Structure 1
Amino acid sequence: MAERARGVAAADVLDEVRRRAAEGDGRTGAEAIVAVVREHGAVLGREDLASLVRTVRAEVEGAGPLQPLLELPGVTDVLVNGPDAVWVDRGRGLERADVDLGDAAAVRALAVRLAAAGGQRLDDAAPVADARLPDGTRLHAVLPPVSPGGALLSLRVLRRTAFPLADLVADGTVATAVEPVLRALVARRANVLVSGATGTGKTTLLASLLSLVPHDERVVVIEEVGELAPDHPHVVRLTARRANVEGAGEVDLVALVRHALRMRPDRIVLGEARGAELREVLTALNTGHEGGWATLHANAAREVPARLEALGALAGMAPEAVAAQALGAVHAVVHLRRDDGRRRVAELGVVERAHDQRHPGTVGGVGLRVVPALLVSADGGVTTGPGWALLEERCGLRGWAG
């Protein structure tokens, strides 16, 4: 009887909370939900009431039946391929989750509701949405006919606290011998690119390193979607805004980088370089703005020059201009890999001009190459590469003891 009463109350309470929200009363806190329960005359025990509150809040302001997965410790991604095909990533690769979302119509309804919560339209006329939910979770949703098999959802969890660098060393993401070098790059105000494939932990590492920036410095972070959460008292955040349904109101990353330069930054950080904003960042780092950081998608450190060329082309830059700007702006590259589900810093390198375009370290004909300075094996062993002396000289690391 208690189970039945709780189920009836959940449906009734959920409908009532949604009705009130539609009428302008958007309260979804525990007290408001308890009040609705009492108005319906339901008698529930403490545990049943707490469970009901969690259920209703997850349906109204969270991800519904997916919310418990998003709240699991260590979860970075929740993927929905169908009503009974839900996957999670807890840092060990994808695992099947024991969640049944009902039927295809229920998955579609969930996708539409989540997109609306992120301020985006998702329907037959606009079957793809990329949004940020109120709690910061990133949502990507696709509807048929773009996804013939049914609605698809991809949710990326935003971690609101940065891991201390020591924690990344303890879990093997950062080798013990590499830690003092990373600390030195921050302390010596080096300009650094953090590269890696999707899901390798670039944002996690960058947040940890930005937490080491002296607290009397002003850090301006520019992102397409707010993800970086360094433990630092003076972080100013700028996030891009998409155009509305009428095509107006867009504020892109190029504009945000330009505005950031007028905000008296001590450090400029670009969450991810993925377009023409690279030109603005390289220009800034070449004109006295030290200690800048950015992340970049690349499958290997040696492919960073090709990525720089491709992104520079989006800004109308010739390869020669990219090479000239990057040589003056980028002091080091920190590359991450993912092996058997485990994320780790695999290489530190330096950018230098490649005089011979046939050099095996040159990719894309940019006139640049990334020379390995430190190479990290899967078991944490560290060896120096041909670029170590240059990294020592360029970043003032000689004799650095951490």
Structure 2
Amino acid sequence: MNTETSAAVGADERGRFVVRRASERPAAVELVPVPGRDESRRERRGLTRGEADAFGPLAGFVADGEITDIFVNGMAGLWVDRGNGLEQDRSWRAPGERALRELAVRIIAAGGRHLDEATPTMDVRIGDGIRAHAVLPPVSTSGTLLSIRAPRTVRPSFDDLRATGFFYPEAEELVRRALADRANLLITGAGGSGKTTLLGALLGEAAKDERLVVIEDVAELRITHPHVVSLEARQANVEGAGEVPLARLVRESLRMRPDRLVLGECRGAELRELLAALNTGHDGGAGTLHANSLNDVPARLEALGALADMSAEAIARQTVSAIDLVMHVERQKGVRQLVDMGEFWLDDLGRLRITSVRTGAKLERS
């Protein structure tokens, strides 16, 4: 790996963002409603009283603005994430498998969908970005499963992230320059690593006269900005009609004159539409992608491109011209951080490669 460094921040012959560097857990949430306080928590979550009631014995956990993930593993218990990783909440007792099933059905119904033997898995959005996913037996062999993701009620700003040490030393200057230059950004990382949090904070720094059009599978991105338009994909109904996929929403968004086009997560054929848009004058765009490391990103993009019937060569050429900077985030021992950034390039065979901005090293394909 090339570790040669200097004190300068600047561009090399390959790109614009290369750096050369010099050498107590919170109290458990009560399950009994507390007048006034629980009402305020419910309102901050954007829940109606009926939606809040649908969560039943989980309502207190959902209302807690510090809890980001809640998992009910059948009769095996409840696990929550308060920002320091998953931990079992032993104060909670499962009400019984039949009651758990009824709870799951009620929660999914609050999101406007139906859960039963014919449709034993379902994902919905409730309130202000709360995502609920349920799986019923016999698809689940360990009883009714519930997975609830509830974004923090406090929306971290760019300065908030900087104050917590989210950025490595040279990163802040580079990120600010990328935003000012209207670079197209791709934020990568594993699930729960902070991709959406970072994306929301970055977009909050966009000029106030810019129009942001945000497209998501389930709306959860939170942006403090005066001009944000949000589009959410829709699943087909029980008759198989009414689906509005992400790819279609990307095409529709181009008729809405976005100054910044944002795809909450690239997970399928919609990648083709996004790359096409970013290659036709739509600068300042952004999106996220699941990837375990920076050097895994090219292979992940090739896999998604295959879903869109794109060859590896096509996805490589489209990506190199569309994406200016990759930002990789990780979560280690409960701490989320931007650990590296990268720039795409093509090797002699026309395959997609990536170079680490932080070290200057050309990363090998895994």
> What TM-score does the superposition give when structure 2 sets the normalisation length?
0.83
- Match of 1:278, SS state, is helix
Taking structure 1 as reference, are residues 258 and 49 closer, same or farther at Cα in structure 2, changes over 3 Å only?
closer
What amino acid is the match of 2:360?
A: G
What amino acid is the match of 2:64?
A: L
Larger Rg: 1
Which digits, 9 at most, give the CA deviation of each residue in 1:225-279, with x for residues without a partner? 1011110000111110111111111111111000111111111000000011101
Output the CA distance in 2 between the equivalents of 1:84 and 1:173.
35
Which digits, 9 at most, give the CA deviation of each residue in 1:322-341, with x for residues without a partner? 11101110111000111122
The aligned residue for residue 119 of structure 1 is 112
Task: Give 1:62 deviation, angstroms.
Answer: 4.4
Matched, 1:385 2:348: no
Task: Give 1:58 deviation, angstroms.
Answer: 7.3
The aligned residue for residue 74 of structure 2 is 82
Output the CA distance in 2 between the equivalents of 1:107 and 1:202.
31
Which digits, 9 at most, give the CA deviation of each residue in 1:14-54, with x for residues without a partner? xxxxxxxxxxxxxxxxxxxxxxxxxxxxxxxxx98669989
Matched, 1:296 2:271: no
The aligned residue for residue 332 of structure 2 is 339
Output the CA distance in 2 between the equivalents of 1:77 and 1:263.
34
Q: In the TM superposition, what are the counterparts of 1:249-268 in structure 2 within 5 Å? A: 249-268=242-261
Is the contact between residue 71 and residue 80 of structure 2 (CA under 8 Å) also seen in structure 1?
yes
What amino acid is the match of 2:181?
A: R
Output the CA distance in 1 between the equivalents of 2:321 and 2:276.
9
Taking structure 1 as reference, are residues 166 and 216 closer, same or farther at Cα in structure 2, changes over 3 Å only?
same
Which digits, 9 at most, give the CA deviation of each residue in 1:264-296, with x for residues without a partner? 111100000001110111011111110110100
Matched, 1:149 2:127: no
The aligned residue for residue 393 of structure 1 is none
- Runs of 5+ consecutive residues of structure 2 not aligned to the other structure: 1-32, 43-47
What amino acid is the match of 1:158?
A: P
Is the contact between residue 129 and residue 221 of structure 2 (CA under 8 Å) also seen in structure 1?
no
Output the CA distance in 2 between the equivalents of 1:327 and 1:51.
51
- Match of 1:131, SS state, is strand
The aligned residue for residue 372 of structure 1 is 356
Matched, 1:178 2:197: no
Output the CA distance in 2 between the equivalents of 1:51 and 1:187.
41
What amino acid is the match of 1:335?
A: H
What amino acid is the match of 1:168?
A: L
Which digits, 9 at most, give the CA deviation of each residue in 1:275-322, with x for residues without a partner? 111011101111111011010001111111111111111111111111
Compare 296-305 and 130-139 and name the one that shifted more: 130-139
Matched, 1:286 2:270: no
The aligned residue for residue 395 of structure 1 is none
The aligned residue for residue 200 of structure 1 is 193
> What TM-score does the superposition give when structure 1 sets the normalisation length?
0.76
What amino acid is the match of 2:250?
A: V
Is the contact between residue 65 and residue 154 of structure 2 (CA under 8 Å) also seen in structure 1?
no
- Match of 1:287, SS state, is coil
Give me the identity figure in percent.
51
Q: CA RMSD in A?
A: 2.3
Taking structure 1 as reference, are residues 161 and 280 closer, same or farther at Cα in structure 2, changes over 3 Å only?
farther
Matched, 1:105 2:89: no
Task: Give 1:124 deviation, angstroms.
Answer: 1.7
Output the CA distance in 2 between the equivalents of 1:111 and 1:64.
10
Matched, 1:244 2:237: yes
Output the CA distance in 2 between the equivalents of 1:115 and 1:322.
37
Output the CA distance in 2 between the equivalents of 1:137 and 1:272.
16
Output the CA distance in 1 between the equivalents of 2:127 and 2:334.
29
Taking structure 1 as reference, are residues 66 and 125 closer, same or farther at Cα in structure 2, changes over 3 Å only?
same
Matched, 1:326 2:319: yes
Bigger relative contact order, structure 1 or 2, given CA contacts below 8 A and separation 6+? 2
Task: Give 1:69 deviation, angstroms.
Answer: 1.3
Taking structure 1 as reference, are residues 127 and 116 closer, same or farther at Cα in structure 2, changes over 3 Å only?
same
Pick the aligned partner of 2:206 from 205, 213, 217.
213
